[in-house]
Amino acid sequence: MFKLHVIQAQFGDSLLLEFGSAGKPRYILIDGGPPGNYEADLRAALEHIVGIGGKLDLLVMSHIDNDHIVGVLDLLADLEYDQVSDRQARLRIDQLWHNSFEKTLDPDGAITQQLQAIMSMASAANFAMPLATDAFLGVREGNRLRLAAQKLKIERNRGFKNDLIMVDTALEPILFGPLSLRIAGPSQANLRALRKKWLEWLAETSRRVATQPSTAAMMDRSVPNLSSVVLLATCNKKTVLLTGDARGDHILAGLTKAGLAQKGTIHVNVLKVQHHGSSRNVDEKFFRAITADTYVISANGKYDNPDLETLQWIVSAARDRQEPITLVVTNETKSTRLLVDKFDPTTSGYTLTILKPGMHEHVVTLAD
């Protein structure tokens, strides 16, 4: 058995892998969605799928953006409440995979300090930088995650060299019974380049906030994205590529480095499209190099995600290779309506599946 549960996460991400057998199912949770998502959807989905008192073999925090981590923190808060109330834990978690901001990008604390200073200057100048604020909150929430895991005695990054999940050092498959996880990102080169971009962005933004506050607000859209753990899950000869918010070229480079992409291409059964379908993290070449039978996008139109351009690239690439595909999206958006108008599903070779309002999850069954 192998299933991917796509949990409603609005503008964030939350996914649950189910594998093993019907009699002894096992579970891996990847991300928990944005603020409010645990109450609205994740808790109910976990109770329905895993069950009260059930167990997660693994909790993966792909990265610490606010729209991925807050639902996980709310879950751990519930588990802490069970612990201090001397109640049976509603859920058990065997281990956590999480790359801390300090370990990956900010060993000397310089980025965090400068980002906090920018937030203070922006507040004093009375203008908003929502994406930069989200990034700063993510760093803080990452620290909360680490402390919560310690309190609950959840082991973090078991077996990873230097406490870092990286394609450079995690060279072998990591097995959970019949399921194999291969690390395909981030790489050390990705992290070095991203740290450089952060420092450059911080320096320029600090200068603008101090001298031209009105123009600094426009720089918010270019906040460097935080690094994501990228995983290829394999079970029953079926594959799911879990991408977080990683850049397309970084994903392909990581797959190649791990020996998973042959001649720069790979086909998977399910591709979780990175960064909620934003065209900023991907291009048309990506969807011709990494192909899939099913594409999953978690977005609700916030920040214009998914971009119509991304949806068109997916459909056009599949049409050119003459392979039918399924697009699974968690919410109807302006871009999904425009896609149907421009590319008739019946003649363009794709099926569009939208999670029904009020439903907590959609199940993609890869193997019974």
What's the pLDDT tens digit per position in 236-293?
Answer: 999 999 999 999 999 999 999 999 998 899 999 999 999 999 998 899 999 999 999 9
**Reported confidence tier of residue 208, pLDDT bands at 50, 70, 90:** confident
What's phi and psi for 342, nearest 5 deg? -85, -40
Give the CA distances from residue 351 to residues 142, 179, 293, 309, in Å, rounded to whole numbers and listed in that order.
37, 28, 11, 17
Closest CA to 47 of 5, 80, 94: 5
Q: What is the pLDDT of residues 291-318, one digit of tens each?
A: 999 999 999 999 999 999 999 999 999 9
Determine the pLDDT at residue 222. Answer: 65
Determine the pLDDT at residue 92. Answer: 97
pLDDT beyond 90 at 4: yes
pLDDT beyond 80 at 199: yes
Average pLDDT, the chain: 93
The rounded distance, in Å, linking the Cα atoms of 10 and 299 is 5
80-89, 215-224, 293-302: least confident range? 215-224
Per-residue tokens: 87:
């109640």
Give the CA distances from residue 283 to residues 249, 307, 338, in Å, rounded to whole numbers and listed in that order.
9, 11, 19
- Domains of the chain from N-terminus onward: 2-272 (3.60.15)
Residue 9 near residue 328 (C-beta atoms within 8 A): no
Helix (H, G, I), strand (E, B) or coil at 221: helix
69-73, 147-151, 215-219, 317-321: least confident range? 215-219
Pick 102 or 59 by higher pLDDT: 59
Determine the pLDDT at residue 309. Answer: 98
Residue 61 near residue 68 (C-beta atoms within 8 A): yes
Determine the pLDDT at residue 219. Answer: 66
Determine the pLDDT at residue 156. Answer: 97
Mean predicted confidence (pLDDT) in 51-75: 96
The rounded distance, in Å, linking the Cα atoms of 340 and 328 is 13
